Amino acid sequence: MVLLLVILASFLIDCSRATGLEKFDHPIKVNGNLKFLVVGDWGRKGDYNQSAVALQMGKIGEELDIDFVVSTGDNFYTNGLTGEHDPNFLESFTNVYKAKSLQNQWYTVLGNHDYRGDVEAQLSPYLRKIDSRWICLRSFIINAEFAEIFMVDTTPFVKEYFVETKHTYDWRNVMPQKTYTENVLKDLENALSESRAKWKIVVGHHAIRSVGHHGDTNELVERLLPILRAYDVDLYMNGHDHCLEHISDTESPIQFLTSGAGSKAWRGDVKGLNSEDVKFFYDGQGFMSVQLTPTHVEIEYYDVFGKVVHKWSRTKQLHHTAI
């Protein structure tokens, strides 16, 4: 009986420490590098230069020999998918991203436009039977050994979507909103606290900082940003604003990287460019690449022609544990 209680107590302790986020292990290549592309706000059946961006992604993907692609959400316009058999999945994803280099895994979060459709369909494992590249969950982790990427479902944080009457949202498994978002943050905080990754990257659909059309997402500034700062997150990547953008945090080393230009872009829709923390803004279509080693990160933004329009890099020192 005593032994049974000890085993049960041990089990409960392990459960309390375990993160609630599903983790996907992505082994690093023999050369020790990790390379991936980031694109968002893309699913328009090839229109609005989506196909042109996809073409350049294929070329850069081959050049870099990428490991996978990260999507920052708004995967299917205008109102997500209607169901598991919606032809929009093939027309906006499978039939557009055909390049050999893009046949790697796609790790995807949901955007607000995705929530206007059948969310459960977009999350369904059935889509992987149609196209095995597709991995879409609400929140999860990509474990790439020296780097961990924490994918976060940000749409339910935005209060506006719960009161507006113009659009209908699929809030199944999200309500009550307060409980859901608290659990998302708790799971993320637990995962970040347990992470031993050299690089910590968080990905969500909505911007924390932006000078684009939507601007800052106040709910994320208030609730998510303090957690990122507390656990030494290096990069926050997002879409939502249809642009390419790089902003530095004023209170920490965090870099805010917007890649939401996978198709339709908003020309001239910008504010606050004179701020010193805004390192780059581009109001055309394009995407981003990320190249990582245990000690170095390099970010490059590309326009619709494949031209590099912005670069940024940082080096970290390896910390060795004293014996």
Euclidean distance between CA atoms 116 and 169, whole angstroms: 4
**CA dist 26 → 41, 106, 137, 185, 253 (Å):** 24, 12, 16, 24, 26
**Active-site annotation holder among 214, 296, 310, 320:** 214
Euclidean distance between CA atoms 221 and 77, whole angstroms: 26
Query: Which single residue is written with the structure tokens 């893309």?
Result: 42
Euclidean distance between CA atoms 212 and 97, whole angstroms: 26
* Whether 246 is catalytic: no
Three-class DSSP category at 247: strand
C-alpha gyration radius of the chain? 19
**CA dist 255 → 104, 192, 233, 250 (Å):** 26, 17, 9, 10
Listing DSSP states for 144-212 in one string gives: ETTEEEEE---GGG-THHHH-SSS----TTT-SHHHHHHHHHHHHHHHHHH---SEEEEE-SS-SS-SS
| Residue 73 main-chain phi, psi, to 5 deg | 100, 180
Catalytic center residues: 214
